[in-house]
């Protein structure tokens, strides 16, 4: 018997996002979401996919991550020029950024408050507030 059931939820998520449930998208969706909250780059996910014997091109990984982000399944986080992290946690939260390792770690939204934010300039609305707490190891680096 074919284990068609495990994919039922993933198929549904893709359909709701208006994306055809293809082999690549299903596999990437599971790689991203089967491991709790994650912050991965396209290159990292591509390497994971190859390690899992999945054949996907890097272009498809980029396309898929961007489509998932546009659909609200992922959130893109930028902390360093020339590198994008895709975050499976789309709720309101912030990040620690480990400068030495390049790793990101969630700070739950409730744990941190931004107050006295001046009103946004006339004619604009706030689309997102990002707080990045950069930390370093006093030793390494």
Partner DNA sequence: AAATAGTCTAGAATGATTCTAGACTATTGA
Partner DNA sequence: TCAATAGTCTAGAATCATTCTAGACTATTT
CA dihedral 60, 61, 66, 70 (to 10 degrees): 90
Please identify, among the stretches 63-71, 91-99, 108-116, 130-138, the one whose residues bind DNA according to the rule CB under 7 A.
63-71
43 binds, among DNA, Zn ion, a second copy, none (CB under 5 to 8 A by kind): DNA
- Report the alpha-carbon distance of residue 89 to residue 15 in Å, rounded: 20
Mark residues 2-41: x for contact with DNA by CB under 7 A, - for none.
Answer: -------------x---xxxxxxx---------------x
- Report the alpha-carbon distance of residue 77 to residue 91 in Å, rounded: 13
- Report the alpha-carbon distance of residue 78 to residue 25 in Å, rounded: 23
106 binds, among Zn ion, DNA, a second copy, none (CB under 5 to 8 A by kind): Zn ion
Question: Which of 83, 134, 133 lies closest to 108 in space, CA to CA?
Answer: 133
For residues 21-80, which are near a second copy according to CB under 8 A? 76, 78-80
- Any contact of residue 69 with DNA (CB under 7 A)? no
Q: Which helix (H) or strand (E) holds 67?
A: helix 58-70
Binding stretches for a second copy (CB under 8 A): 76, 78-84, 96, 98-99, 105, 107, 111-118, 120-121, 123-139
């Amino acid at each position: 018997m074919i284990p068609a059931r495990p994919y039922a939820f993933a198929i549904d998520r893709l359909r709701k996002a208006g994306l055809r449930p293809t082999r690549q998208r299903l596999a990437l969706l599971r790689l991203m979401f089967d491991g709790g909250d994650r912050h991965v780059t396209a290159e990292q996910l591509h390497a994971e996919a190859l390690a899992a014997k999945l054949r996907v091109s890097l272009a498809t990984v980029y396309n898929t991550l961007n489509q998932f982000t546009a659909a609200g399944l992922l959130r893109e986080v930028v902390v360093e020029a020339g590198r994008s992290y895709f975050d499976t946690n789309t709720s309101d939260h912030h990040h620690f950024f480990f400068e030495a390792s390049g790793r990101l770690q969630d700070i739950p939204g409730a744990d941190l408050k931004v107050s006295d934010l001046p009103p946004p300039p006339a004619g604009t609305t706030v689309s997102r507030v990002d707080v990045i707490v950069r930390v370093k190891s006093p030793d390494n680096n």
